[in-house]
């Protein structure tokens, strides 16, 4: 009886999240003949994913991993400054982070397209300063654009969990460590970093997962950089090979989860006080 | 300057640089929406509202706005209902169990929206044979918005004094009456806050909408179409409206709900 109010939410979760994913997983074993999906139990799609898109997958994981590392590092710097260094301005910076969580994913990508593009703010500014004579497209039509834009998008999401962990560190603990003669790096390594392990891992995992599944950024600021999300989306927008798209999505998710587990193990060991 | 002083200056410089990285692109988009030149480049050439006029004159703007509002309100109402009910149940459970259920229900926040979007697409079209449209968009968004409402309301209920509800119940009030006369008035600001966050997430959502809408547009899918076909500051005007709407919702919500992560 007391759990009755929980049921609507659980129903939404089961009917609109678990069921679609299970059905979609089943589809990954289906076959397509004459452009029509037929229920089957075949590993053909997974085989095709590995042989046809293996290098794209590796490339995607590498790019997403890089983005997640950069984002987590910057987020830590920002959260640390907010928690310990900014004094009465801390709330203003925290508010900035919270506000920039919103504003929309597509709008943010568009913002970077208009900054980095060949007609963009950056190129125009550098051109008018006479530093270059031709617009540079290396920033936008390559993987650099994807890294800059996704890091920008993910940063607020990564700052909040890290800040949450840092908030639970008592000032007294840090003072005690310093009074006992520890200098700033040992305090950081032995007190601060181990205590915000959870926040760091949440930030990393979230950034990694979102970057792996992105398909809009590569299209608009990546010059169609060969990333998995784009190829998966193509199976649904143009290719109409849903079973293959499903196998690609699940292979990517599985590889991503493996890496996340691995990173968590390494991080836990590295952050042992 | 002392060594500690220099170190602090570096930290402040880092924080300011990162804050600018977060804020400047959004400000640029807004500035260009009022800029006379059709090129998005500095320096600004003069103030104009032409891009807004051009945006409102487009025949696909009113239906997209209408769709966004319908979806936003529906998602808002549904997610606040299911999320609040769940939070009420969780708040009276042992914290360990509650946390586990909270994490479980938050799983949709962790998966890339692309995966949820294509899974929903195939499920709606092939399994449920539902016609894609606003209903499928609402159902799709509900899955990712619900956990946010749940987390916000649950956080508020952590500091809720259940003794007053228990006294009302002891004095003979039904659970429903106790909720409407006691719990609801106390948590109302949080609920309004959660509702605005839900609205803002729905207005911003692109990926789930993209895969579940079929034909038709919401404001974000309209932005998508415009980025692909044209490159003039009309997009900036639309983007500015979206930014302002979602940030205004979120800003009011943060004040009301006092939710801090």
The ipTM estimated for the assembled molecules is: 0.87
How many CA atoms, within 13 angstroms, populate the side-chain half-sphere of residue A220? 29
Whether the pLDDT of residue B77 is over 70: the answer is: yes
Backbone angles phi, psi at B231, to 5 degrees: -140, 65
Averaged pLDDT, A84-102: 85
Tally: H helices and E strands in chain A: 14, 2
What is the reported pLDDT for A180?
Answer: 79
Total domains in the fold of chain A: 1
For residue A69, being part of any structural domain is answered with: yes
Chain B environment of A111 (Cβ under 8 Å): 25-26, 28-29, 239
For chain A, give percent helix, strand, coil, nearest 5. Answer: 75, 0, 20
Q: Per-residue pLDDT tens for B40-66?
A: 666 777 788 888 998 898 888 999 999
What Å distances lie between residue B23 and A96, A99, A235, B17, B30, CA to CA?
8, 9, 35, 10, 11
Nearest to B27 by CA among A99, A150, A81: A99
Enclosing domain of residue A97: 44-270
Tokens representing B27? 């400000």
Whether the pLDDT of residue A253 is over 50: the answer is: yes
Quick check: A40 and A30 in contact, CB under 8 A?
yes
Range A47-53 contact pairs with CB under 8 angstroms and sequence separation of 24 or more? A48/A244, A48/A247, A49/A244, A49/A247, A49/A248, A49/A251, A50/A251, A53/A228, A53/A231, A53/A248
CA distance A49 to A167: 44
Whether residues A17 and B143 touch (CB distance < 8 A) is answered with: yes
What is the reported pLDDT for A139?
Answer: 63
- pTM for the full predicted model: 0.89
B26-43 core/surface letters (b: 16 or more CB in 10 A; e: else):
bebbbebbbbeeebbbbe
Lowest mean pLDDT among A34-38, A66-70, B221-225: A34-38
For residue A114, being part of any structural domain is answered with: yes
Chain A environment of B120 (Cβ under 8 Å): 16, 20
Whether the pLDDT of residue A238 is over 60: the answer is: yes
For residue A35, being part of any structural domain is answered with: no
Q: What's chain A's average pLDDT?
A: 86
What is the reported pLDDT for B261?
Answer: 43
Q: Per-residue pLDDT tens for A136-169?
A: 666 667 788 899 999 999 999 999 899 988 888 8
Residue B123 has its nearest CB partner, among A23, A96, A214, at A23
Helix (H, G, I), strand (E, B) or coil at A213: coil
For residue A25, being part of any structural domain is answered with: no
Identify the residue among A14, A39, A104, A154 best suited for mutation to test binding to B, counting B beta carbons within 10 A and taking the highest. Answer: A104
A32-64 core/surface letters (b: 16 or more CB in 10 A; e: else):
beeeebeeeeeeebbeebeeebeebbebbbebb
Chain B environment of A103 (Cβ under 8 Å): 26, 204, 242-243, 246-247
Q: In chain A, which ranges are E strands?
A: 31-33, 36-38
**What CATH code is carried by the domain that includes residue A70?**
1.10.3720.10
Identify the residue among A109, A114, A185 best suited for mutation to test binding to B, counting B beta carbons within 10 A and taking the highest. Answer: A114
Residue B224 has its nearest CB partner, among A106, A115, A242, at A106
Domains and their CATH numbers in chain B: 59-257 (1.10.3720.10)
What is the reported pLDDT for A140?
Answer: 66
For residue A52, being part of any structural domain is answered with: yes
- In sequence order, the β-bridge partners of residue A33 are A36
B94 lies within 8 A of chain A by CB: no
Top-confidence residue, B146 or B110: B146
In this prediction, residue B249 has a pLDDT band, given cuts at 50, 70 and 90, of: confident
Percent pLDDT > 70 in chain B is 94
């Amino acid at each position: 009886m007391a759990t009755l109010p929980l049921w609507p939410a659980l129903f939404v979760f089961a009917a609109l999240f678990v069921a679609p994913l299970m059905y979609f997983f089943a589809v990954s074993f289906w076959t397509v003949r004459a452009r029509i999906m037929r229920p089957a139990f075949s590993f053909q799609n997974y085989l095709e994913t590995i042989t046809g898109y293996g290098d794209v997958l590796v490339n995607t994981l590498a790019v997403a991993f890089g983005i997640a590392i950069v984002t987590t590092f910057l987020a830590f710097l920002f959260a640390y400054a907010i928690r310990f260094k900014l004094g009465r301005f801390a709330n203003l910076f925290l508010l900035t982070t919270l506000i920039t969580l919103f504003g929309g994913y597509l709008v943010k990508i568009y913002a970077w397209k208009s900054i980095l593009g060949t007609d963009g703010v950056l190129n125009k500014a550098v051109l008018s300063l006479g530093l270059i004579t031709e617009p540079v497209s290396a920033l936008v039509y390559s993987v650099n654009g994807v890294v800059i834009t996704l890091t920008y998008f993910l940063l607020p999401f990564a700052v909040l969990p890290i800040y949450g962990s840092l908030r639970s560190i008592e000032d007294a603990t840090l003072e005690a460590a310093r009074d006992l003669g520890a200098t700033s790096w040992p305090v950081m390594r032995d007190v601060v970093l181990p205590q915000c392990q959870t926040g760091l891992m949440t930030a990393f995992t979230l950034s990694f997962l979102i970057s792996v599944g992105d398909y809009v950024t590569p299209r608009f600021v990546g010059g169609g950089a060969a990333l998995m999300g784009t190829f998966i989306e193509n199976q649904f927008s143009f290719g109409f090979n849903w079973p293959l798209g499903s196998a690609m999505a699940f292979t990517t998710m599985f590889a991503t989860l493996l890496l996340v587990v691995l990173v968590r193990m390494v991080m836990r060991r590295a952050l042992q006080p | 300057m002392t060594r500690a002083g220099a170190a602090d200056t570096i930290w402040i410089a880092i924080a300011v640089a990162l804050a600018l990285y977060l804020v400047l692109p959004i400000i640029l988009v807004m500035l260009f929406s009022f800029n006379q030149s059709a090129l998005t480049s500095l320096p600004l050439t003069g103030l104009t509202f032409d891009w807004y006029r051009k945006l409102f004159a487009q025949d696909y703007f009113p239906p997209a706005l209408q769709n966004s509002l319908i979806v936003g309100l529906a998602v808002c109402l549904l997610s606040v209902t299911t999320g609040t009910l769940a939070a009420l149940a969780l708040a009276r459970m042992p914290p360990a169990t509650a946390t586990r259920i909270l994490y479980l229900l938050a799983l949709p926040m962790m998966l890339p929206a692309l995966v949820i979007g294509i899974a929903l697409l195939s499920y709606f079209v092939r399994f449920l044979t539902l016609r894609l449209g606003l209903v499928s968009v609402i159902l799709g968004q509900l899955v990712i918005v619900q956990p946010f409402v749940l987390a916000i309301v649950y956080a508020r209920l952590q500091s809720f004094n259940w003794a007053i509800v228990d006294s009302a119940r002891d004095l003979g009030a039904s659970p429903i009456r106790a909720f409407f006369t006691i719990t609801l008035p106390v948590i109302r600001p949080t609920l309004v806050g959660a509702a605005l966050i839900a609205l803002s997430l729905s207005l911003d959502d692109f990926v789930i909408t993209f895969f579940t809408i079929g034909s038709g547009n919401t404001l974000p899918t309209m932005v998508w179409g415009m980025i692909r076909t044209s490159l003039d500051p009309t997009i900036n005007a639309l983007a500015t409206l979206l930014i302002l709407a979602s940030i205004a919702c979120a800003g009011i919500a943060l004040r009301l709900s006092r939710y801090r992560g």
